[in-house]
Structure 1
């Protein structure tokens, strides 16, 4: 297997909390590290923690006017400033100016974006592409060094989608999706998982910068196929909820004919596909407004080539 092309050591790394203002592991940790960043210190690169959406954090809501983590498309970042543009678009432009610009050589090297989900996702790590070998090696390293909970790889971006998330401002990045945890609540176990993901992720970058060779490997990953909406009445109202047999079964196989919804009058609705899939973000609270009951994933084994920093 061929190696990935030469990669320089990373110098500037970001850790973002409160991209969604009611996802409290990131809120608590970003606040803590802004006061006492000693846990983030590494010898070969700088780490900058920051609050992504301070207004939403103050109100303990996901966002003020629109989802900040969907506001980093070029159409938003390049739009002319106006008095009536959403706060999150203004904030996305500020973040892009401070830590980007998106797609430029001046952008920060890497961003860890801390999220919580109400779904039973464990300590999921979201990567933008199956060809992002650096991030996949990082997750492989984390999985080998952190065994307290499942750490599945979720590859989120469909082939025709522009990268729209906050980490796309930087040259690379991952989102950390820890759950289940209710919105507006902090749980000690979820907080510990998040701290461990950051620790091992930073340790990986340190080892990479110091010249460690990470050999070719195979990793299991879940790739997004599509998103499933709830069943609805003709007026658009939801007519069924997640079936008890599916609830909390994130990343487990869903076979043709398995129950996925239960209507409000007690009927079961089955998965009608013809192949086994692996649902994720099952019954995520924040996705009701997005008309997503769960994400439909396929499980694949990805081969990743050897990587090593190009040392001067």
Structure 2
């Protein structure tokens, strides 16, 4: 199969603390910075910018100070005027766009890996926006090399201009979601899984830049279909049910009509009523209560990716 030639990756960023209470990324970025001071930039195959994305939220161990910064990187928000009333996270998003972007420009950093934790049982979940051959090849490499936890790929399939999370600032990029881990807590096993994800990404970059040909093939991808809210009281909007024990912790399992999804506080089971069999993920994510999301539903598909190798000068 003929290769698709892609430019070498020259600059990358590893970011943690976009949400200040998701601690694996915070401590992994700090550890990378500590090692840099000890051993220098030769530690990695290319220059790496380490970023603590939301330092005020990290200091207070809160998801955010004024607004969710992981929704602040669309082109519309990044081009908005800064005023006295602009939320802190929007101001910080503008700063990060200046540091790592500008978004959708030739000057943008080559790749951002943004590190997140989830309270859901999602192992390592890699989230990206488009059919980016570079990012999909890295995801395929992680799926091949990492065995300690399941590695899955979620594609949101939105234009980069509308993409609202930090990794959309770079030419290529993806989020690593690692869980389950409570917010404000660090678990060694989840930290180690995330660290392996970053290390294997660096391994791919080194091999790609040195001329390794990565064969094409199929990558299993979950595409977002819709979001499901909890059952609520129609007047007070208070929850009337929780995730059913038979669904809890079964992220990416098959959900078919008649399966239990919620257990009401009065003891009644609410069943899945969709005709289409789909895959739930971000099940009972703590941070999504405020967003009115009990879980997302996805379709599983295969994306065929081409053989790629580095573009020669």
Whole-Å separation in 2 of the counterparts to 1:52 and 1:222 = 27
Count matched residues. Answer: 310
Q: Is the 8 A contact 1:44 1:210 kept in 2?
A: no
Are residues 1:223 and 2:223 paired?
yes
Partner of 1:14: 13
TM-score by length of 2: 0.95
Partner of 2:257: 256
Root mean square deviation, CA, Å = 1.7
Partner of 2:295: 294
- 1:21-36 to structure 2, matched below 5 A, reads 21-36=20-35
- 1:67-86 to structure 2, matched below 5 A, reads 67-86=68-87
Whole-Å separation in 2 of the counterparts to 1:149 and 1:311 = 36
Q: How far is the alpha carbon of 1:75 from its aligned partner?
A: 2.2
Q: How far is the alpha carbon of 1:156 from its aligned partner?
A: 2.7
Deviates more, 1:32-41 or 1:120-129: 32-41
Whole-Å separation in 1 of the counterparts to 2:142 and 2:75 = 32
Secondary structure of 1:226's partner? strand
- 1:151-300 to structure 2, matched below 5 A, reads 151-158=151-158, 162-235=162-235, 236-300=237-301
Secondary structure of 1:36's partner? helix
Whole-Å separation in 2 of the counterparts to 1:157 and 1:90 = 26
Structure 1, unmatched stretches of 5+, are none
Structure 2, unmatched stretches of 5+, are none
Q: What per-residue deviation string (whole Å, max 9, x for no partner) do you get for residues 75-109 of structure 1?
A: 22111111111000000000001110000000000
Secondary structure of 2:104's partner? coil
Deviates more, 1:154-163 or 1:285-294: 154-163
Whole-Å separation in 2 of the counterparts to 1:187 and 1:164 = 28
Q: Is the 8 A contact 2:181 2:190 kept in 1?
A: yes
Secondary structure of 1:308's partner? strand
Whole-Å separation in 2 of the counterparts to 1:112 and 1:43 = 14
Q: Is the 8 A contact 1:113 1:176 kept in 2?
A: yes
Secondary structure of 2:82's partner? coil
Partner of 2:111: 110
Q: Is the 8 A contact 2:214 2:309 kept in 1?
A: yes
Q: How far is the alpha carbon of 1:39 from its aligned partner?
A: 9.5
Q: What per-residue deviation string (whole Å, max 9, x for no partner) do you get for residues 160-189 of structure 1?
A: 981111011111111000000000000000
- 1:56-71 to structure 2, matched below 5 A, reads 56-71=57-72
Whole-Å separation in 2 of the counterparts to 1:72 and 1:218 = 30
TM-score by length of 1: 0.95
Are residues 1:120 and 2:121 paired?
yes
Q: Is the 8 A contact 2:74 2:161 kept in 1?
A: no
